[in-house]
Amino acid sequence: MPQYLLSVHNAGVSPYLSDEEMQQAMADTGVVNEEMRAAGVWVFAGGLEMPETAKVVRRTEAGLLHTDGPYLDSKEHIGGFWILDVADEAEALAWAEKGATACLGDVEVRPFQGMPQE
């Protein structure tokens, strides 16, 4: 079965209007995570710290350069992600709908490149 990355995007700041809203979104996301596990599609998931905690290693003509901050200077950043093993894109999109509803964030769906058969 193909694997998909479902990435949660936000504007680099908390998308929640209150602590209560954040706690509810976390609880709702936990329910979706359990549904994914029960359905057998869960591979891995995780939330990410804020973009300012990022470090980037860049290849330059002078060698490797380490810099602070996110790779791109952008308003939106990945806040978390799921990796799912599903039948097809339609199933990945259905899980993305549940995820976006639960975590109150936009969810991008992208397939992994084909892997060689073992």
pLDDT, residue 110, reads 95
The domain ranges of the chain are 3-49+75-111
pLDDT, residue 51, reads 82
* Signed CA dihedral, 70, 72, 77, 81: sign only: negative
User: Looking at per-residue confidence, does 118 or 102 come out higher?
Assistant: 102
DSSP 73: -
| pLDDT digit string, tens, across residues 16-68 | 778 999 899 999 999 999 999 999 999 999 988 888 888 999 999 999 999 98
Phi first, then psi: give them for residue 82, nearest 5 degrees: -125, 145
Q: Across-strand partners of 17? A: none
The C-alpha atoms of residue 11 and residue 50 are separated, in whole angstroms, by 10
Phi first, then psi: give them for residue 2, nearest 5 degrees: -70, 150
For 12, 57, 101, 104, the CA distances from 16, given in Å and listed in that order, are 12, 31, 13, 8
Tell me the fold of 3-49+75-111.
Alpha-Beta Plaits (3.30.70)
User: In the sheet that 42-47 helps form, which strands lie side by side, from edge to edge?
Assistant: 42-47, 77-85, 3-10, 106-111
